[in-house]
Amino acid sequence: MLPALRIPHSLGAFALGLAAAFSLAPAHADERVCTGSMARVTVDNLRVPEGARCALDGTRIEGNLKIERGATLQARSIRVLGNIQAEGARQVSVAGRSSVGGNVQIKQGGGASIRRVDVDGDIQLDENVNKLEVQDNRVGGNIQVFQNRGGAYIAGNVVDGNLQCKENRPAPRGGSNRVDGNREDQCRQL
């Protein structure tokens, strides 16, 4: 049996304090809230709260952009390093040579317009009830348009993955999309 190691009380307290300071708790990026307009600023994460309106012009978001239920986003020339996520949003419009490092996911909301945006991941539009527009985008993943009810116009996109449309009423319309993968279901002719 090894002899017990004696640590002076002050050194033991220091070691415990040091361990607490460098604990494995996750770091949280700062989140800004937009309820008006923002121009050329850089933020970590950005949230448009429930029912609010937000206009962005030239804003850089180093994390994610989240649009909450009933909220409206009007964005031009933005750069999002993470994802754009909207669930139950009233309207989401992103245009004007914007870029998204992750995915654009707009679900169970009103309408959306994604125009002239470079998206490294996917564009996913699911179960929305108003008009959707996906036009002149460069998409590194897939465009997926499922179970929407307000009509969708999909045109002029360059898609590295697949163009997939299912169970939309009415069926999407558009054309002149360059798709490296497959054109599936309702999007076969687009």
Going from the first residue of the chain to its last (190 residues), give the mean pLDDT of each consecutive group of 10, the final group possibly shorter. Answer: 50 44 46 95 98 98 98 98 98 97 98 98 98 98 98 98 98 98 96
Its domain, for residue 92, covers: 31-185
87: in domain: yes
Total domain count, the chain: 1
Q: What is the pLDDT of residue 90?
A: 98
9: in domain: no
Q: How far, in Å, CA of 82 to CA of 84, rounded?
A: 7
Residue 11 structure tokens: 């050194």
19: in domain: no
49: in domain: yes
Q: What is the pLDDT of residue 25?
A: 35
Terminal CA-CA length for the chain: 77
Q: What is the pLDDT of residue 23?
A: 36
Q: What is the pLDDT of residue 29?
A: 62
26: in domain: no
Residue 90 structure tokens: 């009233």
Q: How far, in Å, CA of 63 to CA of 53, rounded?
A: 20
7: in domain: no
Give the length of the chain. Answer: 190
6: in domain: no
CB 67 within 8 A of CB 88: no
43: in domain: yes
Q: What is the pLDDT of residue 6?
A: 54
